[in-house]
Amino acid sequence: MILVTGASGFVGRQLCRDLKHKGESVRAAVRSLSEINSLSGTEQVIIDNIGPNTTWHESLKGVDCVVHLAARVHVMKDNSDDPLAEFRELNVRATINLAEQAAAAGVKRFLYLSSIKVNGEETLDKQKFSADDDPAPVDPYAISKYEAELSLHKIAATSTMDVVIIRPPLVYGPGVKGNFNKMMRWLVKGVPLPFGMVNNSRSLVALDNLIDFIVVCMKHPSAPGEIFLVSDGEDMSTTVLLEKLAYMLGIPSRLIPVPIYILKFIAFLVGKKDLAQRLLGSLKIDIDKNRDLLGWTPPHSVDKGLKLTADDFYRTNIK
């Protein structure tokens, strides 16, 4: 039996569907009855509030593997008085609480979806982040994810439960929200975008590739105790990404060639420095460890992932 937390989320829904398709027994942890409809055919348990004091006893009965996806996610602008405390409540303390109960219940493997932001915010020149780099989390979200990783390693060291940590970059695919969805909306509206000269290089991961890697890490004998980075293995610039998305959507990209230094200056003036870093900066990931240790390479190409994403966007927003 596999327990998936955050099962009604972007990654969780697809993971549950894929596991069921593979014949696995899946128990999906959801927060309310309204979330159950999207997980038909999967056993569900309602956890009203995932926190440091949540009781998981019933949910963990018969469970061999926990895939912990539930988290307080990163937002571009956090208005909390103490963002780090808020992130620690769910991303650290609640994770520790679940992991300790899982270990006590005899769970064999605990897989934690962390974030590439634990490695840092950007890579420079020909640098690539690797799983063996010294962590360099900057913002409260990344710090909370790293603290959760450290706590999980400690729990694994004092129990019989294996821990596997995966740090993905931006995940895209059918149903994607956030800035990726906004980019497609800009393109469809025909908004001229000043990104025709962006020569950065960024690693992304398609939802199907991430799910495939999660499934491998759930069972592979060499995965326990390891930290993995995951991506499509094909880096590209923001300019190329927008051009590819426009092509998949069947529309012109309308990209204007504006020098990077001008874009950075404008972003600074309007208080969008973080967004500019994601659009203009580089973030490259080395996934050689995945191939060498697990024999894993991304089964789907970037073009396939973008086509599925664009087709879903077109069906749900244009037709």
Most confident of 88-92, 167-171, 179-183: 167-171
Residue with tokens 């056993």: 43
Confidence of residue 80 (pLDDT cuts 50, 70, 90): low
Which position among 141, 172, 247, 314 bears the catalytic label? 141
76 pLDDT exceeds 50?
Answer: no
Give the C-alpha separation, 20 to 22, whole Å.
Answer: 5
Give the C-alpha separation, 179 to 75, whole Å.
Answer: 10
Nearest residue to 7 (alpha-carbon basis) of 33, 34, 39, 32 = 39
71 pLDDT exceeds 90?
Answer: no
| Per-residue confidence (pLDDT) for residue 41, from 0 to 100 | 67
Confidence of residue 73 (pLDDT cuts 50, 70, 90): confident
| For residues 221-237, average pLDDT | 96
**Three-state secondary structure of 250-261:** CCCCCECCCCHH
**Three-state secondary structure of 110-174:** EEEECCHHHCCCCCCCCCCECCCCCCCCCCHHHHHHHHHHHHHHHHHHCCCCEEEEEECCCEECC
Structural domains in the chain plus CATH codes: 2-167 (3.40.50.720), 177-201+235-319 (3.90.25)
Nearest residue to 66 (alpha-carbon basis) of 92, 100, 42 = 100
Please report, rounded to a whole number, the percentage of residues in the chain having pLDDT higher than 90: 66
74 pLDDT exceeds 60?
Answer: no
Residue 209: count other Cβ atoms within 10 Å of its Cβ: 26
Least confident of 37-46, 74-83, 207-216: 74-83
Q: Is 141 a catalytic residue?
A: yes
Residue with tokens 């610039």: 237
Length of the chain: 319
Residue 8: count other Cβ atoms within 10 Å of its Cβ: 22
319 pLDDT exceeds 60?
Answer: no
104-116 b/e (C-beta count within 10 Å ≥ 16 → b): ebebebbbbbbbb
